[in-house]
Chains A and B, each alone.
Chain A
Amino acid sequence: EVQLVESGGGLVQPGGSLRLSCAASGFTFSNYWMSWVRQAPGKGLEWVATIHQHGSEKFYVDSVKGRFTISRDNAENSLYLQLNRLRADDTAVYYCASFSASYYFFEWWGQGTLVTVSS
């Protein structure tokens, strides 16, 4: 059974930092592109970042470029998102998601971790 389990969310002040983690199991993690997708309270889904199977390529939505960093550790079957210089509009549930084996839609999702940016 595929499982993606996020952790690391919490309350942080504007300008602060957090590191989110996603532990993957039930599939060959190193074979899959991985992503973070977020959802602000009461809002829709927004793609945040994606990383190649081996970490050689990374892509970000414009609003987080220079502030967020996606990374992975294939030996640990883990995905990360470093969030720096956080703003109030970064408040959201952050989901870890994997692409399918052949196409770039989000096949598997974690349950999400809530990041709240507030003073």
Chain B
Amino acid sequence: EIVMTQSPATLSVSPGERATLSCRASQSVNSNLAWYQQKAGQAPRVLIYGASTRATGIAARFSGSGSGTEFTLTISSLQSEDFAVYYCQQYNDWPPYTFGQGTKVEIK
């Protein structure tokens, strides 16, 4: 089973600042990685797939990079609606499909 590890657990950022979230896989997942955003009380929604492709309707301030075992989600200028929990998920080697434990982005 591939273990996904996200860091940090919590990221405190001021509106307008840049946020950088990390995700590490225990073995290579090539570019088969997705990022999800989950706001309180809501279902997750996909932001990025293929490590760097924005999903339909996702704002350009969200970008993904990386391949193999190291991945990054960057939010270039945080908006109020971006404060949420973010999860990475690998779909290279399955089952199981595995998620990271999440990074909470909170207001500084």
Contact = CB atoms under 8 A, between A and B. Distances in A.
Given A100-B49, A103-B50, A104-B91, A109 B43 contact: yes
Could you tell me the dominant secondary structure of chain B's interface residues? Answer: loop
Interface residues of A, number: 21
Contacts of B22: none
Contacts of B36: 45, 106
Interface residues of B, number: 24
A95 B43 contact: yes
Given A105-B34, A106-B34, A106-B89, A47 B46 contact: no
A59 B97 CA distance: 10
Contacts of B99: 44-47
A107 B89 contact: no
Given A61-B95, A103-B91, A109 B50 contact: no
Given A59-B95, A61-B95, A61-B96, A107 B32 contact: no
Interface of A: 35, 44-47, 50, 59-62, 95, 100, 103-107, 109-112
